[in-house]
Amino acid sequence: MAEALLVVEGVVKEYGERVRTRALAGVDLALDKGELAALIGPSGSGKSTLLNIIGLLDRPTSGRVVLAGTDTTGLDERALTALRARTLGFVFQFHYLLPAFTALENVMLPAWGDVGLPSRAMREQAQELLRAVGLGDRMGYRTTDLSGGQQQRVAIARALSRRPALVLADEPTGNLDTASADEVFGLMRRFNRESGTTFLVVTHDPRIADRCDRIVEIVDGRVRSDRRGPSR
Amino acid sequence: MPFEWFVALRYLREEKAQTALILAAVSVGVSVIVFLSALINGLQVSLIDRTLGSQPHVTVHVPREVPRPLVYAVGDRAIARDVQAASQRLRSIDQWPAVMAEVERVPGVTAVSPMILGAGFAVRSDAKEPVMVRGVDPERYGAIIDVQRRMVAGRFDVSGGDVAIGSTLASDLGVGVGDKIRVVTTEGVEDVVTVAGVFTLGTEGADRTWLFTSLRHAQSLYALPGGATTLELKVADVFDAERAAGDVRDRTGLDADSWMKLNAELLAGLDAQSSSKWMIQFFVVVAVALGIASVLVVSVVQKSREIGILRAVGTSPQRVLRVFLIQGGVLGLAGSLVGSGLGGLFAKLFEGLARGADGAPRFPVQLDGALFLTATGIATGVGLLAAVIPARRAARLDPATVIRNG
Ligand SMILES: Nc1ncnc2c1ncn2[C@@H]1O[C@H](COP(=O)(O)OP(=O)(O)OP(=O)(O)O)[C@@H](O)[C@H]1O
Ligand SMILES: [Mg+2]
């Protein structure tokens, strides 16, 4: 077995002060480098919650997350932001692009915001990524002038722009028609194969889940099953 | 371009209506400040100029003779006393050249001129007018009050027995350059002198009663050979005059009055005017600050989703903070540039509108680089300050909440 990129140990997440909702009731999960894993489960089972915790956007009530060898438990906001910027990429269900910026600028922003100043290399890499997701002719478009599928492809390009070790995608195809969904998932599959980027994809779509290497199912905040997908 | 600047400017450009509105508010505020300052400063400077056009900054003279009681009180007994006011004779400053050298060493003093100042009458046929005789050394006196520049006829030439008189006095006596008049002093000395020049200093008192002659001539008119009753001083900073006067008092034991003391009422008026100016400006600044802050607060709320995304893709809270601080600063700076221009323009227009008979502006305005710099600095600082609260709110936004709630 390859070395673990992500280790989630006994993660519990409770929401609310007086009425406590237990969104995660002790999750253990490990992801290896280069895996393309699907995270499935009924609505309200805690998928998004788990993804946000892995994505260092939220902290667990108890348990720990070790990402790329770093135990994130005691880290402050600054350190979390830095770790997030360098190891993680995000794709969300609703295209979380910035409408005030062009497709190219959206892809450049993560690196730009981390380093401070833009560089030629940054721009060239962003252009290359946009060409790779088939949007070479749409780089200067405002994201509001792009279709849903195109926007999601920009989001993938942005998620990959820092060459993250792990990309977290929360229902990336949830809003797309079948053809666009296939196209978007196909891109993730391709980047996974070509560059070895690890993906954790939340999906409700069994066709998509079946095309992953591994399917993790959570129900009521616990891992119910964890199996290798048919594609491997 | 640095990330923060790029994002800040892009959002300012995106929200054109908001940006235009706040820029207009800042511009109006700054133009009010610039206009008001230019007007009031101009008014004050011209008032002070006019006052100092016929007054030295500091006048040094022998202390008035104090009345001496005839019987001194002793121990615990109260004794009825008879106190009579002492008569005030015209007295020369003892060793005035030495005193003058001492006074010249007082920090801030730029010029000293000795003078004999006495009262008398100017007589011409049946006209007899009271005058203040001022015996001066024209070279030195020119540094205190530039009479030569204020001549309406003839020259400020008081060598020999010649005199220069105020324009009102000249017309009261019905004399002009070259005419002869008789001067009678309080010492009972009389002399016939030639009017060499007529001046106007712009103050009624000076133009009606002043009569300049040479120091030497005045010494003989007042029987004070080699004497000088008064030293007149000019200081580098006119508002430093009272301090300089104090120094002179301490060093010489003589009386020294600054123009500030002699014009206390004028200065109190100017002070009140300045305070009201500051008050108005303060409230304008507060209004501008509130305007910037409220627009930025709204904009942070509107953009919370986008801020959350920026945070999620790895932008640090510090950078988010700076984005909004930059917006505040840029709004303040841009607004103040426009406002300074507008305010300056208004001030100039206003100055052009009201002109006196001689074509000189009745409300002279004072526009200088310092005013623009201050206005710009204040507005930029206020913009930055006003942005602090919204910026901190933006920086504290929790990306997870934003992502979750879409
Ligand atoms: N901020 C919150 N405050 C309180 N409860 C929350 C919060 N976020 C999520 N929950 C609760 O936690 C549970 C898990 O929510 P989560 O969004 O992780 O589910 P999910 O598996 O992503 O569902 P879906 O498939 O519908 O997106 C739900 O019961 C939800 O109501
Ligand atoms: Mg969800």
Closest residue to atom 31 of ligand 1, CA basis:
A44
pLDDT at B323: 92
pTM over 0.80: no
Ligand 1 atom with minimal separation from the A52 CA: 18
Ligand 1 atom with minimal separation from the A49 CA: 18
CB contact under 8 A, B2 and A117: yes
pLDDT at A232: 47
pLDDT at B87: 63
Q: Which residues of B touch A126 (CB under 8 A)?
A: none
CB contact under 8 A, A77 and B317: yes
What's the burial of A126, exposed, middle or buried (CB within 10 Å: 0-12/13-18/19+)? buried
Structure tokens at A207: 């066709």
Asked whether A15 lines ligand 1 (CB < 6 A), one says: yes
Q: Which residues of A touch B (CB under 8 A)?
A: 48, 52, 55, 57-58, 77-78, 81-82, 84-86, 88, 90, 92, 94, 96-101, 109-110, 112-118, 158, 162
Give the number of the ligand closest to the Cα of residue A13. Answer: 1
Residue B202 and residue B192: Cα distance in Å, rounded?
27
pLDDT at B201: 87
Q: How far is the CA of A168 from the centre of ligand 2 (A)?
A: 12
Q: How confident is the model at residue B288 (pLDDT cuts 50, 70, 90)?
A: confident
CA of B290 vs chain A CAs: smallest distance (Å): 26
Residue A43 and residue A49: Cα distance in Å, rounded?
11
Contact B222, B116 (CB under 8 A): yes
CA of A113 vs chain B CAs: smallest distance (Å): 5
pLDDT at A66: 94
Closest residue to atom 3 of ligand 1, CA basis:
A15
Residue B21 and residue A215: Cα distance in Å, rounded?
54
CB contact under 8 A, A110 and B313: yes
Q: How confident is the model at residue B209 (pLDDT cuts 50, 70, 90)?
A: very high
Asked whether A48 lines ligand 1 (CB < 6 A), one says: yes
Beta strands in B326-406 (DSSP E): none
For chain B, the average pLDDT equals 86
Mean pLDDT of B13-28: 89
Mean pLDDT of B342-371: 80
CA distances from A155 to A51, A151, A184, A225, B120 (A): 17, 6, 10, 29, 98
Residue of chain A whose Cα is closest to the Cα of B303: A98
CB contact under 8 A, A118 and B3: yes
Q: Which of B3, B10, B406 sits opposite A100 (nearest CB)?
A: B10
Is residue B251 pLDDT above 50, yes or no? yes
Q: How confident is the model at residue B6 (pLDDT cuts 50, 70, 90)?
A: very high
Q: How confident is the model at residue B289 (pLDDT cuts 50, 70, 90)?
A: confident
CB contact under 8 A, A112 and B6: yes
Is residue B321 pLDDT above 50, yes or no? yes
Which of A15, A47, A61, A96 to mutate to test binding with chain B, by most B CBs within 10 Å of its CB?
Answer: A96
Q: How confident is the model at residue B357 (pLDDT cuts 50, 70, 90)?
A: low
Q: Which residues of A touch B318 (CB under 8 A)?
A: 78
DSSP character at residue B313:
T
Is residue B322 pLDDT above 90, yes or no? yes
**pLDDT tens over chain A, length 232 residues:** 456 899 999 999 998 888 888 999 999 999 999 999 999 999 999 999 999 999 998 899 999 999 988 899 989 888 888 888 889 988 887 767 888 999 999 999 988 988 889 899 999 999 988 998 888 899 999 988 998 889 988 998 998 888 899 999 988 888 788 888 888 899 889 889 988 899 999 999 988 899 999 999 999 999 999 888 665 4
Asked whether A43 lines ligand 1 (CB < 6 A), one says: yes
CA distances from B303 to A209, B308, B320, B386 (A): 34, 8, 11, 18
pLDDT digits (tens, 9 = 90+) for B114-160: 999 999 999 988 889 999 999 999 888 988 888 888 899 898 888 87
CA of B332 vs chain A CAs: smallest distance (Å): 23
Closest residue to atom 6 of ligand 1, CA basis:
A15
Pick the closest to residue A154 from A122, A132, A125 (CA basis).
A132
Residue of chain A whose Cα is closest to the Cα of B405: A94
Q: How confident is the model at residue B405 (pLDDT cuts 50, 70, 90)?
A: low
Mean pLDDT of B261-282: 87
Beta strands in B295-341 (DSSP E): none
Q: Comparing B317 with B68, which gets the higher pLDDT?
A: B317
Q: To the nearest 10°, the Cα dihedral for B14, B17, B19, B23?
A: 160
pLDDT at B125: 83
CA of B21 vs chain A CAs: smallest distance (Å): 20
ipTM of the complex: 0.81
Q: Comparing B80 with A203, which gets the higher pLDDT?
A: A203
Angle, in degrees to the nearest 10, between helices B264-302 and B16-52:
170
Q: Specify which residues B194 forms β-bridges with.
A: B162, B180
